[in-house]
Structure formats: C-alpha cells, structure tokens
Amino acid sequence: MNKATNRPVVALVVAAGSGVRLGAAVPKALVELGGMSLVRRSVLAMRSGGVGTVVVTVPDGQVTVFEAALTGIDDVVCTLGGPERQDSVRLGLQTLAELVPDDAVVLVHDAARPLVPAEVVRAVAAAVADGADVVIPVVPVHDSIRQVNGDGSAIVDRGTLRAIQTPQGARLGALLAAHQHVHRNRLVITDDASALEAVGCDVTLVPGHHDSLKITEKLDLALAQGILDGRQEGGRL
C-alpha cells in the first residue's frame, strides 16, 4: 500500500513469451537463473519494491505450470496472455481491474528483467503516486549509434538517448483505457508509455539500473548470472 495516496501498488508481470531466441525448451519466463525461474525472481523483485497484488500473464496452456513455479508467493494470479506483448498487457490489466481500484498504481514489468533492483521499483511507483501520468526507468546509451538513411547513415548524438526498461508505471484505469484505445485503433506500440502517449499523456523518466538487463539470448543469461553472483558475494540476493 502506498501511504502517500492510500492506494495500492500492484504489478502486472508479462511472462507469455515463448523463449525461441533463448533456445529454451520451456517458456522463457520458466528458464532458471541461479536455480530460480525468471518469473519467480521478477515477482519477488516487485514484492521487494513494495508491490502487493501481482497478476502474471502466461502462455496458453501453461497456467498450472506457472502457478507451480510461483508456489509459496501469496496474492499472485496467473492469467492467459495474448499473441503479442500489448495484447498480454491489456488482458492482464483487465484482470487487475477486477481485483483493485482504478486509481491503484500499476507497474508493468517484463519477466525477462528478473534482476531489477527494489529501488527502481519504488522510484517508479513513487513518481506515479506524486502525479506523473506514466513513468519509465531509463539508462544512458553507452554504444555509439548510427541512423541508416537510404544508402547512407549518420551518427546520432548518444547523449540525448536513453534505453528504456521496466517496470513502467501509471494509474490502472488510465493505462487500461489507453491499451483499449490502442487495440481498437490497431496501433502498434513497443511499451506501455507509448500507449499513454497515444492518448495525450506525458512521460516522466526516472533512473533505471544496468542490473535490469533484458534476457533475450543465451549471452544475456550468462551476464545475468554474473550479476547474480556479484550480488551473492556482496550479501544481496
């Protein structure tokens, strides 16, 4: 519960991905990192940041398997996702809307980012509670970037660029309405902030963290294991 607004802070963990690029024999969110599934680590990361109710969107036919992977964690609901991420988010938000008030602070998080620090989760929730329309954690881009233009290309000033992470936060009712608008109008978006931007809302940025890398390929899993090993050596999980 967020004391400043007396409204709950809840989360939607998007875990309906197939994991094809990871080369896994199970859905990506069930792949283990340090002996624990990505989805379980992600749900626990939300809890560490002060989140209450969590809805997890899962692939078709996998509800029972995911429920087993989340055994022992209370106030978690697994529900079917959709063919695309934005479909899964819309469906998950609809489930949340049956459980908590429209003005609850909702954080939408990808299960593929299992090592997001608790302080990032809290920062996103706090910014929404303070009145931001939609909040996203970001980190500076370290690589040099070139933009391709026809047959040529041009360097882009990386000082103005930020890489987007999750969780992304907003008020539940506003975010659900935005995703329904996107669905009705067949708009294609890549994150939740874009859904709210499509209906005229402003985006607020807060600092993210490089621990919160997205696990897409086997190399990402190895990097995440290195981060986890460093945390354990330092006494953090």
Mean pLDDT of 35-55: 98
**pTM of the entire structure?**
0.93
Model pLDDT, residue 1: 43
Which pLDDT band, with edges at 50, 70 and 90, does 124 fall under?
very high
Model pLDDT, residue 3: 43
Model pLDDT, residue 21: 77
* pLDDT value at 6 more than 90: no
Inter-CA distances, 53 with 77, 141, 173, 189, Å: 8, 33, 16, 26
What CATH number was assigned to the domain covering residues 9-233? 3.90.550.10
State which H helix or E strand residue 93 sits in: helix 85-97
For the stretch 194-229, pLDDT in tens is 999 999 999 999 999 999 999 999 999 999 999 999
For the stretch 63-74, pLDDT in tens is 999 999 999 999
Model pLDDT, residue 232: 82
Model pLDDT, residue 128: 98
Rounded CA-CA distance 159/144 in Å is 10
CB 36 within 8 A of CB 111: no
Model pLDDT, residue 150: 85
% residues pLDDT > 90 (the chain) = 88
For the stretch 146-183, pLDDT in tens is 999 888 999 999 999 999 999 999 999 999 999 999 99
Mean pLDDT of 46-74: 97
Model pLDDT, residue 5: 46
Model pLDDT, residue 194: 96
Q: Which of 110-114, 166-170, 188-192 has the least mean pLDDT?
A: 188-192
Mean pLDDT of 133-143: 96
Residue 191's CB is within 10 A of a number of other CB atoms, namely 20
- Could you tell me which residues are beta bridge partners of residue 106? 10, 170
Model pLDDT, residue 224: 96
DSSP-derived secondary structure letter, 29:
G
Look at residue 124 and give its three-state secondary structure.
helix
